[in-house]
């Protein structure tokens, strides 16, 4: 059986989407499902090809027990729309960019990550890049909440 696959997407793939990638990977590893669910992240823009996540993202994630150090930035590719079962944008702008590039037969795979939040009421995961340290904690709060809801959703899909 093919693993259920999820792609997290933000603009540059160095803050929000690798954070979601690392948090969700941590959750599925803890449950013993690393072979049933695959995870990746990408950016709508090719600003930081093959770069590690932003140091601030790594620092704040590490403080909560998540290791992002092995992740590398990449831009979304046409093949991703077919390859992934679910493609989750961090905000409306990136969702619109994905919708503009996505073949019509795969458009139903596109959603916002925050649709899976159950504690926080936020339509988007805001970009922390130009802000202070509080923005990276807010990203983690939203991502942890959304990833818990996403995990419940995915477990239904794979059973």
Catalytic residue among 40, 80, 91, 127: 127
Q: What are phi and psi of 84, to 5 degrees?
A: -100, 145
Is residue 10 annotated as part of the catalytic site, yes or no? Answer: yes
Q: Are 58 and 102 in contact (CB under 8 A)?
A: no
Strands (E), the chain: 4-10, 37-43, 86-89, 110-112
Q: How far apart are CA 110 and CA 35, in angstroms?
A: 23
E strands in 11-158 = 37-43, 86-89, 110-112
127 is catalytic: yes
- The two tokens of residue 98 are 């994905």
Please give the positions annotated as active site.
Answer: 10, 16, 127
């Amino acid at each position: 059986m093919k693993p259920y696959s999820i792609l997290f997407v933000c603009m540059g793939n160095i803050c929000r989407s690798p954070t979601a990638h690392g948090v969700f990977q941590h959750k599925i590893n803890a449950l013993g499902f690393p072979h049933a669910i695959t995870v990746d992240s990408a950016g709508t823009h090719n600003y930081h090809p093959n770069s590690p996540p932003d140091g601030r993202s790594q620092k704040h994630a590490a403080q909560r027990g998540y290791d992002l150090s092995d992740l590398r930035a990449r831009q979304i590719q046409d093949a991703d729309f077919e390859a992934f079962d679910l493609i989750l944008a961090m905000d409306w702008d990136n969702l619109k960019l994905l919708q503009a590039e996505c073949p019509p037969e795969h458009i139903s795979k596109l959603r916002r990550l925050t649709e899976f939040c159950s504690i926080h009421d936020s339509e988007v995961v805001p970009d922390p890049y130009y802000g202070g340290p509080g923005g990276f904690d807010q990203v983690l709060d939203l991502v942890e909440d959304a990833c818990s809801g996403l995990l419940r959703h995915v477990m239904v899909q794979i059973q």
